Amino acid sequence: MSDIDEKVAPRREERLGAGCVYGGNACGLKAQFGGCRLKANQRGFGQGSICQLLPGTAMLSTLPNSVVILHGSLGCGGAINLQTANVRYRQILSGERNPQGAIWMTSNLDERDVVSGGEEKLEKAILAAEQRFRPATIIVVATCVPGIIGDDIDGVAARLQPQIQARILPIHCEGFKTQIMATAYDAIFHSISRHLLPRGEGEGQAPVIVDELEIARERIRRSRLVNLMNFASMSASEQGELTRLLQALGLTVQVFPCYSDPERFVDATQAALSISSCPTHDDYFLKHLQERYGVPYILRHMPIGIAATGDWLRDIARFFHLEKEAEALIAQETRELEEALAPFRAAFAGKKALVSAGEVRAFATAAFLQELGLSIVAVRPYHYDEFGEPSLDRLTEKQDDVIVNVATIQPYETLNIFEKTRPDLYMGHIADNVWAAKAGVPVVPIWHGGFSSAGYSGAFDLARRINRVLRNPSFNRRLRENLKQPYRKEWFHEDPFKYIREAVTN
Ligand code: SF4
């Protein structure tokens, strides 16, 4: 019996031994993790975190022809407006003339529903979504309240499905259940696998082709057909760059899951290979595609930076016996990129950087900054598990003294590290960047829908943005001079990891 046969996906804390509490150096982190599980550390004081609903709604908002119903209190939808704006922006960048963004609703549970149950409201919301929007899928996302009061969202979906044209996808995304927000990806892929992929013999298979020539053509097409896995924060230009590189190897590319029509997900079961561009995002789904449909996968590197992009291509080429073609492609792309980077290198030499993001992106970006000539003072991944290891290894090949602070936000630790290390550059997501800016550290957002950092063209785009910011750091310097820091001076004399301790186990 596999995890997919269960109603709810397991938490990453149990499935992968993932943890989000660590402060020390990179070698200490490797020793603590030991290839299987981060120690059950705890914070005696915590400040800020991210609910799994944030990455969950980011991913779900990208699914076209869908309505997302947040089953819970109205406030849980706070972050989804940002996601719909991101989706609309991406649609505009992709040349969409009438960008719609994402459609979302809430069942708007209140105090009375906490006592009497929220299933009735959910039923009404599903029926309203069907009547008003006629979508291909209606996605029901359970938040904390239904998780606590015991609403049966799977039962409601099963009850209503016969009278609803849209496919209903129940997703268990209750924020209180996990500290590892990436668990949301598993919850979504769990529901996609259970409700959008064929589960019985022959169901959803491609139609039988009778013509022999057609059969041969189809076999060849499928032998080079790959699933390129994207994610909500992969920009259109990044997706274009990775597709370009795969096509240069002669592969036929179909992209899942973001911005991909849910009715096409079944095509993922027909590919010769699935290719991850972020192991943290994809492992649950790709393992399922292999187990149930025999589609092998490659899941190791995030193609950010020169060496990582080369290794990402080499892994794929090895599967198709295209090693020679891949080496020629890598050599040509690297040569052109190095020429383009040459004018920036003097400005980067000796500069210090601090990087924060999801584990793979954070370590991969830090390793790329090393390739550019910067040194890394610290990396702050939101969590850590086995998927962080390959890029952490790449980073520590050049520096084994890098501070690693595994934390989902926790700004008091961030600001303390700023004061101790005084970096020249900070790269992080929106929630962190503001702290760096106020502390006087020049910021380059590690992600934005209009930017690119993947592949060779992404490497150049990233380097150009860093160069622009490093050339004139006066805005952040003045910001620091004119702002009052939110913490007392005494805190900056303390160990930034003062409140982290190992959990006591009996
Ligand atoms: S933690 Fe719970 S209540 Fe808060 S936003 Fe997340 S799902 Fe909603």
Using the predicted structure, report yes or no on whether residue 479 has a pLDDT greater than 60. Answer: yes
**Beta-carbon contacts of residue 484 (< 8 Å; ≥ 6 apart):** none
Segment 391-430, tens digit of pLDDT: 999 999 999 889 999 999 999 999 999 999 999 999 999 8
Residue nearest to atom 8 of ligand 1 (CA): 76
Ligand 1 site residues (CB inside 6 A) read 51, 53, 72, 76, 143-144, 174-176
Looking at 195, 230, 256, the residue that finishes a domain is: 195
Domain-terminating residue out of 306, 334, 362: 334
Q: Is the residue at 12 inside a domain? A: no
Cβ-contact 424, 476 below 8 angstroms: no
Integer Cα distance of 433 and 90 in angstroms: 22
Same domain for 324 and 342? no
User: Is 369 in the same domain as 483?
Assistant: yes
Q: Are residues 238 and 315 in the same domain?
A: yes
Instruction: Establish if 435 belongs to a structural domain.
Output: yes
For residue 41, being part of any structural domain is answered with no
Tell how strand 22-25 and strand 425-428 pair up: unpaired
- Say how many domains are in the chain: 3
Residue 215 dihedral angles phi and psi, to the nearest 5°: -60, -45
Identity at 486, one-letter amino acid code = P
- Number of other CB atoms surrounding residue 199 within 10 Å: 12
User: Are residues 101 and 231 both part of a single domain?
Assistant: no
Which whole number is the average pLDDT over 182-205?
A: 84
Distance 70 CA to ligand 1 centre (A): 10
Question: How far, in Å, from the CA of 44 to the mean position of ligand 1?
Answer: 22
Rounded mean pLDDT, 15-30: 92
Mean pLDDT confidence for 371-396: 95
Q: Considering the entire predicted model, what is its pTM? A: 0.93
The DSSP code for 344 is: G
Same domain, 365 and 438: yes
Cα torsion at 86, 197, 303, 357 (round to 10°)?
A: 50
H-state helical runs in 294-429: 306-320, 323-341, 345-348, 359-372, 389-398, 411-421
Task: Assign 216 a pLDDT band (cuts: 50, 70, 90).
Answer: low
- Is residue 493 predicted with pLDDT exceeding 60? yes
More confident residue, 198 or 417: 417
Task: Give a yes or no: residue 4 inside a domain.
Answer: no
Task: Give me the domain span that covers residue 315.
Answer: 212-334
Tell me: do 486 and 362 sit in the same domain. yes
246-267 CB burial, b ≥16 within 10 A, e <16: beebebebebbbbbbebeebbb
164 and 56 in one domain? yes
Which residue, of 195, 222, 251, is where some domain finishes?
Answer: 195
- Chain-centre distance for alpha carbon 26: 22
What separation in angstroms does the CA of 162 have from each of 128, 148, 307? 16, 28, 51
DSSP tally for the chain: helices H, then strands E: 21, 16
Is 380 found in the same domain as 453? yes
345 touches 371 (CB < 8 A): no
Among 385-389, 452-456, 468-472, 500-504, the minimum mean pLDDT is found in 500-504
Average pLDDT, the chain: 92
Residue 365 belongs to some domain of the structure: yes
Give the pLDDT confidence of 147-185 residue by residue, as tens digits: 999 999 999 999 999 999 999 999 999 999 999 999 999
With the most atoms of ligand 1 within 8 angstroms of its CB, the residue from 57, 76, 174 to mutate is 76
Does residue 411 share a domain with residue 286?
no
CATH of the domain at 235: 3.40.50.1980
Lowest mean pLDDT: which of 95-99, 280-284, 351-355, 462-466? 95-99
pLDDT, tens only, 228-277:
999 998 999 999 999 999 999 999 999 999 999 999 999 999 999 999 99
Give the mean pLDDT of 71-80: 91
The whole-number pLDDT of residue 207 equals 47
Q: Point out the ligand 1 atom lying closest to the alpha carbon of residue 72.
A: 8
Closest ligand 1 atom to Cα of 78: 5
Same domain, 340 and 323: no
In a domain, 111, yes or no: yes
Give the pLDDT confidence score for residue 319 in this predicted structure.
Answer: 94
Determine the pLDDT at residue 387: 95
Report if residue 25 sits inside a domain.
no
Provide the token pair at 90.
């991406």
Residues 353 and 490 in one domain: yes
The count of other CB atoms within 10 Å of the CB of residue 96 is 11
Residue 18 lies in a domain: no
On the question of pLDDT at 506 being above 60, the answer is no
Distance from C-alpha of 354 to C-alpha of 496, rounded to nearest angstrom: 15
Percent residues over pLDDT 90 in the chain: 82
Statement to judge: residues 379 and 403 lie in one domain: yes
